[in-house]
Amino acid sequence: MQRNLNKLANTTYDLLIVGGGITGACAAWDASLRGLSVALVDKVDFGSATSAASGKIIHGGLRYMQYGALHRARESLHERMVFQKIAPHFVHPIPFLIPTYGHLLKGKEILTLGMTLYDLLGLDKNNSKAPEKTIPRHRVLSRNKVLELFPDIDRVGITGGILYYDCQMHNPERLTLSFLLTANNAGADLVNYVKVKEFHKKDNRVTGVKAEDTITGEKFDIQARVVLNASGPWMHSLLRPLKRVEPRVNLQFSKGIHIITRSLTKNCALALATKHSHAGALVNRGGRHFFIIPWRNHSLIGTTNVPFEGRPDDKMVTERDILGLLQEINAAYPAASLKRQDVAFFYGGLYPDDIKRSVGDAYQGARKDQIVDHSTNEGIDGLISALSVKYTTARKLAQRTINLVFRKLGYKPPECLTEKTPIHGGKIERFNDFLFAETERNASRLKKDITRNLIYNYGTAYAKVLGHADKNPGWCETIHAQLPIINAQVIHAVRDEMAQKLTDVVFRRTGLGTVGDPGEAALQTCAYTMAGELGWDAQKIQRELMEVREVFSPSP
Ligand SMILES: Cc1cc2nc3c(=O)[nH]c(=O)nc-3n(C[C@H](O)[C@H](O)[C@H](O)COP(=O)(O)OP(=O)(O)OC[C@H]3O[C@@H](n4cnc5c(N)ncnc54)[C@H](O)[C@@H]3O)c2cc1C
């Protein structure tokens, strides 16, 4: 994937997509598979905003049951199955335990009823050939069994628990990138660090955009027959210069943060209610639910939900946010006894909230994806906005959006192929067999955890990463003593995956920094390897290192 600004400036595309999060990535992939000429730009790195701030769950929409939105639960269950099929290296089943307290409407019985219906809705959503991809039905656990699994949780009033399965993304940043790599393989031109400044308009029709390369400051135009605004939380600011458009997109945002801590639960995620009253709890103990989820030998804990009044470019996580979440966790689960130094990493993002009704859990239940054709009310043709509320359903949102793009171009939409087409590196029928075979095959050259890490992050495309190490065996060395990440991944990130900055490599191409600060030596190794590839001087290296360190410090 090469960064070709010249081509962007000298082509008239069928579709230009603004925003390289999961919404834009899926749209670029779908449109290019169906034969459109596509360009996509992101003002920062691909997948660096909301799409890197999720709870990493591809979920079957259990929450929708609570709101009676069965069709949405069914859609999520379907999309979860699709994700497992097209991205088997990234998306894996994981068990969740919800302890129940009390009876009837307050506890186990109502949840069991809901789960039974949920399982029925998902009956036909479990057709993988690989046994490890099968999602078992829920199980009702006795009080004793729950306490055997989690002896430290609050015992007062506990009546048992429900064990159910969902899916976890191993690496959402790389998953988003892989959709883009697939789009690129199908012909899409993708460029990071290009900001759309304004739209070009002719007779009430958007004909393209004025853009700026945020690395060099160079300004240029991009022409397109249709422009898709997939800029997530920036949607308003992008539309604002068009003035008449703003009221049609219904937007305000809530902030949610997650923290990565030492491991609290090994093989099973745990859902607990906070002590404060909240409308969005799964089983109402008076609190909002948060999840303690095992991830990469750590616990991923979140989320919070507070109204957001800043700007989407603001630093998302404050020290107060972290301390507040720690307090909530320790109050609900005193045995966790989490201290500030147990927080290895943190991140935050914005979810669209509802202006009209105040719902406790904005992300989980209330909002819906939005597709806005700006010709309908505002009379501005050639412009569509798509706003996603879930990573899980982004593929489906893209399908509907690209159907509309075809209609706007004056064609009947051809069949959408994304449901059946594996993403880059994803053509694997039986993941565990593949993992075992490849780990054995590379055993003389690579430690098992290195091959495993490569396969979980690149799927079949891991061979291309190792191709770099064929030319320089030193690139098989790990960057960090405790992490199975090798130098060849840095080289691959720069040469084949458009990494422009050290932050791209540390947080989005290799995952080196997403379980905490890997330390100065590892960061310097990465920085000097990148410098060799990109011609950075000593000053530039220091600036890049500073930017990485900034990510590890919350605002006060
Ligand atoms: C706390 C939290 C937890 C969540 N957990 C889950 C979960 O577990 N499972 C799930 O399915 N969903 C989850 N979600 C929802 C999911 O993360 C989002 O729906 C999804 O990531 C939105 O993707 P997007 O591409 O629309 O937006 P973004 O990822 O924000 O992408 C928008 C992109 O547009 C770019 N951009 C903006 N302005 C411009 C411009 N002028 N020029 C060029 N580029 C521009 C930005 O740089 C950005 O990269 C969660 C959300 C939050 C906030």
> How do strand 189-191 and strand 306-307 relate by DSSP bridges?
unpaired
Considering only CA atoms, which residue is closest to atom 27 of ligand 1?
A: 232
Q: What is the H or E stretch that residue 259 is in?
A: strand 252-261
Q: What is the pLDDT of residues 312-371, one digit of tens each?
A: 999 999 999 999 999 999 999 999 999 999 999 999 999 887 644 433 443 344 478 999
Instruction: Indicate the residue type of 372.
Output: V
CATH superfamily of 1-90+170-250+365-429: FAD/NAD(P)-binding domain (3.50.50.60)
Decide if 487 contacts 474 (C-beta within 8 A).
yes
Query: Which residue's entry shows tokens 């998953």?
Result: 175
φ and ψ of 492, to 5 deg:
-60, -40
Residue 22 CA, closest ligand 1 atom number: 25
Residue 238 CA, closest ligand 1 atom number: 41
Three-class SS of residue 444? coil
Please calculate the CA angle 485-259-21 and round it to the nearest 5 degrees. Answer: 70
Interacting residues of 15 by C-beta distance below 8 A, sequence separation 6+: 27, 31, 36, 37, 38, 39, 224, 225, 226, 227, 228, 405
Query: How many Cα atoms occupy the beta-carbon half-sphere of 547 within 13 Å?
Result: 15
Q: How many Å lie between the centroid of ligand 1 and the Cα of residue 22?
A: 7
- Please report the DSSP string for 516-556 in residue order: B---HHHHHHHHHHHHHHHT--HHHHHHHHHHHHHHTS-B-
Interacting residues of 326 by C-beta distance below 8 A, sequence separation 6+: 259, 338, 339, 340, 343
Q: What is the pLDDT of residues 207-236, one digit of tens each?
A: 999 999 999 999 999 999 999 999 999 998
The class that CATH gives domain 431-551 is mainly alpha
Ordered per-residue pLDDT tens for the chain, 556 residues: 999 999 999 999 999 999 999 999 999 999 999 999 999 999 999 999 999 999 999 998 888 887 788 889 999 999 999 999 999 999 999 999 999 987 655 567 888 888 898 888 888 777 777 889 999 999 999 999 999 999 999 999 899 999 999 999 999 999 999 999 999 999 999 999 999 999 999 999 999 999 999 999 999 999 999 999 999 999 988 988 876 555 455 568 899 999 999 999 989 999 998 876 554 445 544 567 899 999 999 999 999 988 898 999 999 999 999 999 999 999 999 999 999 999 999 999 998 876 444 334 433 444 789 999 999 878 899 999 999 999 999 999 999 999 999 999 999 999 999 999 999 999 999 999 999 999 999 999 999 999 999 999 999 999 999 999 998 989 999 999 899 999 999 999 999 999 999 999 999 999 999 999 999 999 999 999 999 999 999 999 999 999 999 999 999 8
Q: Output the pLDDT for position 287.
A: 65
Q: Output the pLDDT for position 243.
A: 66
Rounded Cα distance between 267 and 239, Å, is 45
Q: How many Å lie between the centroid of ligand 1 and the Cα of residue 49?
A: 5
Query: Which residue's entry shows tokens 């840095």?
Result: 490
Q: Is 401 in the pocket of ligand 1 (CB under 6 A)?
A: no
Q: Which two tokens stand for residue 58?
A: 């591809």
Question: Which residues is 252 bridged to in the sheet?
Answer: 353
Q: Which two tokens stand for residue 479?
A: 């960057």
Decide if 162 contacts 97 (C-beta within 8 A).
yes
Q: What is the H or E stretch that residue 301 is in?
A: strand 298-302
- Burial letters 5-29, b for 16+ CB under 10 A, else e: beebeeeebbbbbbbbbbbbbbbbb
Q: Among 169, 390, 392, which residue has the most ligand 1 atoms within 8 Å of its CB, making it the best to mutate?
A: 390
Q: Among 228, 242, 291, 391, which residue has the most ligand 1 atoms within 8 Å of its CB, making it the best to mutate?
A: 391
- For 458, counting Cβ atoms within 10 Å of its Cβ (0-12 exposed, 13-18 middle, 19+ buried), the class is buried
Q: Is 367 in the pocket of ligand 1 (CB under 6 A)?
A: no
Rounded Cα distance between 141 and 158, Å, is 11
Cβ-based neighbour number of residue 358 at 10 Å: 11
Q: How many Å lie between the centroid of ligand 1 and the Cα of residue 351?
A: 8
- Please report the DSSP string for 184-221 in residue order: HHTT-EEESSEEEEEEEEETTEEEEEEEEETTT--EEE
Q: Rounded to the nearest 10 degrees, what angle do helices 394-408 and 22-33 cross at?
A: 50
Q: How many Å lie between the centroid of ligand 1 and the Cα of residue 254?
A: 13
Q: Is 231 in the pocket of ligand 1 (CB under 6 A)?
A: yes
Q: How many Å lie between the centroid of ligand 1 and the Cα of residue 51?
A: 4
Rounded Cα distance between 433 and 440, Å, is 11
ipTM exceeding 0.95, yes/no: yes
- Sequence ranges of the domains in the chain: 1-90+170-250+365-429, 92-168+252-364, 431-551
What topology does CATH give the domain 92-168+252-364? D-Amino Acid Oxidase; Chain A, domain 2 (3.30.9)
Q: Is 146 in the pocket of ligand 1 (CB under 6 A)?
A: no
Q: Is 50 in the pocket of ligand 1 (CB under 6 A)?
A: yes
Decide if 17 contacts 316 (C-beta within 8 A).
no
Q: How far is CA 187 from CA 33, 35, 317, 499, 520, in A?
A: 8, 9, 37, 19, 39
- Please report the DSSP string for 95-163 in residue order: EEEEEEESSGGGSHHHHHHHHHHHHHHTTTS---SSGGG--PPPEEE-HHHHHHH-TTS--TTEEEEEE
Q: Among 5, 50, 363, 504, which residue has the most ligand 1 atoms within 8 Å of its CB, making it the best to mutate?
A: 50
Query: Which residue's entry shows tokens 């992050």?
Result: 457
Q: How many Å lie between the centroid of ligand 1 and the Cα of residue 203?
A: 32
